[in-house]
Amino acid sequence: MNDHQLKELLNEMTLEEKTGQLMQLATPFFKGASDSGQITGPMQDMGINDKDIINAGSVLGASGAKEIKNIQKKYLESSRLNIPLLFMSDIVHGFKTIFPVPLAIGCSWDMELAEKSAEIAAKEAAVSGVHVSFAPMVDLSRDPRWGRVMESTGEDVFLNSTFARAFVRGFQGNLESDKYKVASCVKHFAAYGAPEGGRDYNTVDMSEWMLRESYLPAYKAALDEGCEMVMTAFNILNGIPSTGNKALMRDLLRKEWGFDGVLISDWGAVKELLPHGVAANEKEAAEQALKAGVDIEMMTSCYVNHLSELIEEGKITEDLLDEAVLRILTLKKKLGLFENPHRFANEEEEKEFILSSEHRAAARELASKSIVLLKNEKVLPLKKEKIALVGPFSMSTDILGPWSWAGAPEDTITLDQGMKNYVADLLTADGCDIETGSEKTLQEAVEKAKQADKIVVALGERSDMSGEAGSRADIRIPEVQVDLLKKIKELGKPVVAVLFNGRPLDIKEVMEHADAVVEAWYPGTEGGHALADILFGKVNPSAKLSMSFPYSVGQVPVYYNHYNTGRPKDAPDAQVRYVSQYLDAPNEALLPFGYGLSYSTFAYSTLEISAETMTKDEPLIISIEVKNTSGTAGEEIVQLYVRDLIGQVVRPLKELKDFQKIHLEAGETQQVNFTITEEQLRYIHPDMEYKSDAGEFEVFVGGNSQDVQSKRFTLID
Ligand code: NOJ
């Protein structure tokens, strides 16, 4: 099928067939489907008939080669023009081999492994018949009350953008020629990660400057990497719902950025223009969304029921509809569906690839690189000693995290299973549930703990306490679990807390009562193995937080790259009272962005800078020597931050500009060189121009965003 044939096909289509292409329905609507398709939003009566379903353009949430082939076959038998269906699914951090949640992957700072995780996810999904993955989610998030922070790689613009690219490369590769690839859909456009109060689907209101400075770059990075699709966001943005926001999508995304791929609404978001109060009825909603640039309407039927009428009334032109249909047909063509509607769906290869030892090994490696060591008072690594493992996550399979609908508990390696490979006589007890407990279960855990030399306490949030619609106003670990930890600590033995959660939590009490704290996040299918590797020192922890851990929920949002205010607390002439501060909490996060410990210790030499001035054509070289001062080989993530001291708009106190992950043998020293170019010093000006200003800058290098050395330099014209 070539472009000319595609246009001919479009010309042959009736209005009904065209609007059908714009409708996406979940699996249960289709003949040949089991009714067990993945449902990820509210189901409502859509007022559509069998004919509408025959015309539908795409399917949401189906999986399994047999199932998908069946649906496609049955569908094509009744499709007048033989236009194949597109199958889309949320393959967010793995398909059946589940990788750590994206926030955890963010803490690996490892682009190669992140790309590989998406490549494996794509391969498993592709042989299962999926064509498009609704990932990556790149919404910048600074508010851990929002449950979906686990879906993004964190709070930093540069790190998120770098990961966005890696994920798109992994999913898509060269979509038209590589085997086992799926198209990637970046989401949620735009600024979905900044809902007021951290409450999901809530209002977002921010200046265009902030949007362009912090929130848009990661979406743009994904598109620069060739990402085929974009999904709208549920939130309003400056008073207009994203899904009907013409300025955002028609003007910025399509015209300014030149995006000509498929734009899909989020689940039900077109019809949600009604409760938002910007459309009086479905017809108005359809008109707004299509004019704004939305091609596919997911799981509501405003388009299919009203577009023809809108065209007849002259409210929208058929050209506008044709444009959207052509984009969808073009994606189908790119995926080769006209020649082979089943693409890579293959039952034999499903058996061969899914959960293969190679995929499991990659999941184990990435999980171990995502686990962050937050505290260690000489307790870890564990030896072959008498160990008790207590807490509700000790034997839990709920460690895959949200968006792991295809991952199965029976394929999941739990923490106790992983640890038993190191100590066969591990003592285990739950101690309590996630939110409830009893004296009996508590005592069982205490009795087991009494028999041990060291105790590991596995605590956290159930996976449905984060993710979509998983906002929390209290971000502490449920009290019953903290009580368990305190009781265990009273035994006076070394205690290691291992945390399973989807967001930065308020963990002050855990930090106080445990001698070592390990942030496991939701580590995925191989979680138990990866954690045991870390706990017993087979793998030396190397991850660093990609999102700050607040001191308390009252500080939220608290993020490292904030501005100075006119009354900074730490200014040399700061007053006692009239400064920007909390009376009852520090300004700083409990654990800053970029923070994470290792079993090795690293010493940084004095920072060197190649010159005191730089120009556009003469970049600076920043160098530092890092020495592993311990007897254990390890990895360190060396981070480079910059501050523009005087700008036309305020500049963050620090902005991550680069980093290097280095491996150092015991006692080894390595020189790390960074290049600073003029391009890295650009920022969004008051007129929205992205450029640099001549003047003075400060550069910082260190092992986290707080613990740094600095030097100054001047950019001259
Ligand atoms: C709603 C979610 O917001 C989105 O991320 C997801 O891709 C869709 N549902 C489809 O499942």
Statement: residue 37 has pLDDT above 70 = no
| Minimal-distance CA residue to ligand 1 atom 7 | 134
- What is the mean pLDDT of the segment spanning 555-574? 94
- DSSP H stretches of helix in 469-555: 479-489, 508-513, 527-535
The CA angle 331-337-343, to the nearest 5 degrees, is: 115
Average pLDDT of the chain, as a whole number: 97
Q: Around 92, how many Cα atoms within 13 Å sit in the side-chain half-sphere?
A: 26
Q: Hey, what are 169's tokens?
A: 């490369």
pLDDT tens digits, 455-487? 999 999 999 999 999 999 999 999 999 999 999
What is the percent of the chain where pLDDT is above 90? Answer: 95
Pocket test for ligand 1, best of 39, 134, 185 (most atoms within 8 A of CB): 134
173/576 Cα distance (integer angstroms):
56
pLDDT given at position 680 = 98
Where do the domains of the chain lie? 90-337, 357-535, 600-715
User: How far apart (Å, rounded) are the C-alpha atoms in residues 248 and 358?
Assistant: 42
Measured in Å, residue 639 CA sits from the centre of ligand 1 at 33
Q: Is 468 in the pocket of ligand 1 (CB under 6 A)?
A: yes
The reply to whether omega before 188 is within 30° of 0 (cis) is: yes
Q: How many CB atoms within 10 Å of residue 92?
A: 27
Q: Does the Cβ of 540 fall within 6 Å of ligand 1?
A: no
Q: How far apart are CA 272 and CA 232, in angstroms?
A: 12
Share of the chain above pLDDT 70, in %: 100
474 flagged as catalytic: no
Is residue 56 within 8 A of residue 25, CB to CB? The reply is yes
Q: Could you tell me which residues come within 8 angstroms of residue 595 by beta carbon, excluding any fewer than 6 positions away?
A: 372, 374, 544, 545, 704, 705, 706
Residue nearest to atom 11 of ligand 1 (CA): 40
Helix-then-strand count for the chain, H and E: 21, 27
Please tell me which residue in 266, 430, 515, 644 is annotated as part of the active site. 266
Looking at the CA of residue 188, tell me the nearest atom of ligand 1. Answer: 5
Is cis: bond before 523, omega within 30 of 0?
no
- What's the CA gap between 586 and 584, in Å, rounded? 7
Atom of ligand 1 nearest to the CA of 134: 7
Please work out whether the CB of residue 90 comes within 6 Å of at least one atom of ligand 1.
Answer: yes
How many whole angstroms from its chain centre is CA 4?
A: 39
* pLDDT (0 to 100) of residue 36: 64
Q: Whose CA is nearest to atom 1 of ligand 1?
A: 267
Place of tokens 């991952």: 407
Whether 388 has a pLDDT exceeding 80, the answer reads yes
Neighbouring-strand partners of residue 133:
89, 184
* Cβ neighbours around 6 below 10 Å, total: 17
The reply to whether omega before 136 is within 30° of 0 (cis) is yes
Q: Rounded distance, CA 467 to CA 248, Å?
A: 25
- Report the distance separating Cα 529 and Cα 278, nearest Å: 51
Q: Which three-class secondary structure string do you get for 2-55? A: CHHHHHHHHHHCCHHHHHHHCEEEEHHHCCCCCCCCCCCCCCCCCCCCHHHHHH
As a whole number of angstroms, the distance between CA 98 and CA 285 comes to: 37
State in Å: Cα 273 to ligand 1 middle.
17
Ramachandran category for residue 600: left, alpha or beta (phi over 0 → left; psi -120 to 50 → alpha): beta
Name the β-bridge partners of 373. 518, 597
Q: What's the mean pLDDT in 649-676?
A: 98
Return the residue whose CA atom lies nearest to atom 3 of ligand 1.
Answer: 266
Tell me, using a 6 A CB cutoff, whether residue 267 lines ligand 1.
Answer: yes
Asked if residue 266 has its Cβ within 6 Å of ligand 1, the reply is yes
Per-residue pLDDT reduced to its tens digit, 167-214? 999 999 999 999 999 999 999 999 999 999 999 999 999 999 999 999
Which of 38, 63, 90, 130 to probe ligand 1 with, by most ligand atoms within 8 A of CB? 90
Give 55's contacts (C-beta < 8 A, 6+ positions apart): 16, 17, 19, 20, 21, 23, 304
Q: 54 Cβ partners below 8 Å, 6+ apart? A: 20, 75, 78, 79
CA of 40 to the centre of ligand 1 (A): 7
| Lowest-pLDDT choice from 30-39, 252-261, 509-518 | 30-39
How long is the chain? 717
Bridge partners for 673 per DSSP: 623
Q: Is 41 in the pocket of ligand 1 (CB under 6 A)?
A: yes
Confidence class for position 405, pLDDT limits 50, 70, 90: very high
Please return the burial class of 656, using the count of CB atoms within 10 Å of its CB with bins 0-12, 13-18 and 19+: buried
Cis peptide before 190 (omega within 30 of 0): yes
pLDDT tens digits, 64-84? 999 999 999 999 999 999 999
Whether ligand 1 lies within 6 angstroms of the CB of 187 is answered as yes
What is the rounded distance in angstroms from the CA atom of residue 14 to the CA atom of residue 18? 6
pLDDT tens digits, residue range 244-287? 999 999 999 999 999 999 999 999 999 999 999 999 999 999 99
Taking the centre of ligand 1 as the mean of its atom positions, its distance from the CA of residue 128, in whole angstroms, is: 20
Q: What is the mean pLDDT of residues 508-513?
A: 98
When the candidates are 3.40.462.40, 3.40.50.1700, 3.90.1150.10, 3.30.565.10, the CATH number that belongs to 357-535 is: 3.40.50.1700
| Residue 523: HSE in the Cβ half-sphere, 13 Å Cα cutoff | 37
How close is the Cα of 523 to the center of ligand 1, in Å?
A: 21
Are 90-337 and 357-535 the same fold in CATH?
Answer: no
Residue from 59, 234, 272, 468 whose mutation best tests the ligand 1 pocket (most atoms within 8 A of CB): 468
Q: Which atom of ligand 1 is nearest to the CA of 40?
A: 11
Residue 500 Cβ contacting ligand 1 at under 6 Å: no
Q: Is the CB of 134 under 6 A from ligand 1?
A: yes
Instruction: Tell me what pLDDT residue 106 has.
Output: 98
SS3 string, 262-317, reads: EEECCCCCCCCHHHHCCCCCHHHHHHHHHHHCCCEEECCCHHHHHHHHHHHCCCCC
Q: What is the pTM of this model?
A: 0.98
Q: How many CB atoms lie within 10 A of CB 453?
A: 12
Taking the centre of ligand 1 as the mean of its atom positions, its distance from the CA of residue 27, in whole angstroms, is 14
Helices 282-292/318-334 angle, 10° precision: 60
| Ligand 1 pocket mutation pick from 184, 266, 298 by most atoms within 8 angstroms of CB | 266
- Does residue 200 line the site of ligand 1, with CB under 6 A? no
* Ligand 1 centre distance from Cα of residue 268 (Å): 10
Ligand 1 site, residue 272, Cβ cutoff 6 A:
no
- Looking at ligand 1, which residue's alpha carbon is closest to its atom 4? 266
142-to-197, 547, 559 alpha-carbon distances in Å? 11, 7, 6
CB 256 within 8 A of CB 690: no
User: How many C-beta atoms surround the C-beta of residue 70 within 10 A?
Assistant: 19
Which atom of ligand 1 is nearest the CA belonging to 185? Answer: 7
- CATH number for the domain formed by residue range(s) 90-337: 3.20.20.300
Query: Ligand 1 center to residue 137 CA distance, Å?
Result: 10
Burial class (CB in 10 A: 0-12, 13-18, 19+), 95: buried
Expressed in angstroms and rounded, the spacing between residue 233 Cα and the centre of ligand 1 is 9
> Measured from the CA of 61, which atom of ligand 1 is nearest?
11
Distance of CA 320 to CAs 46, 290, 293, Å? 24, 8, 9
Determine whether domain 600-715 maps to CATH 2.60.40.10.
Answer: yes
Ligand 1 atom nearest 234 alpha carbon:
3
Task: Check residue 678 and report its DSSP letter.
Answer: G
CA distances from 214 to 157, 158, 199, 493, 646 (A): 6, 9, 20, 45, 19
Measured CA to CA in angstroms, residue 419 lies from 291, 415, 425, 457 at distances of 56, 6, 10, 13
Are 85 and 400 in contact by the 8 Å Cβ rule? The answer is no
Q: Residue 39 has what pLDDT?
A: 73
Question: Tell me: the pLDDT tens digits for 414-425?
Answer: 999 999 999 999
Atom 9 in ligand 1: residue holding the nearest Cα? 267
Q: CA-to-CA distance for 93 and 535, rounded, in angstroms?
A: 24
Q: Which residue has the tokens 């409708």?
A: 23
Q: Which residue of 24, 38, 40, 91 sits with most ligand 1 atoms within 8 Å of its CB, as the best mutation to test the pocket?
A: 40
- Ligand 1 mean position, distance from CA 267 (Å): 6
653-669 average pLDDT score: 98
Q: How far apart are CA 288 and CA 268, in angstroms?
A: 14
Average pLDDT value for residue range 624-635? 98
CA of 277 to the centre of ligand 1 (A): 22
For ligand 1, the distance from its centroid to the CA atom of residue 483, given in whole angstroms, is 36
Angle, alpha carbons 113-118-121 (nearest 5°): 125
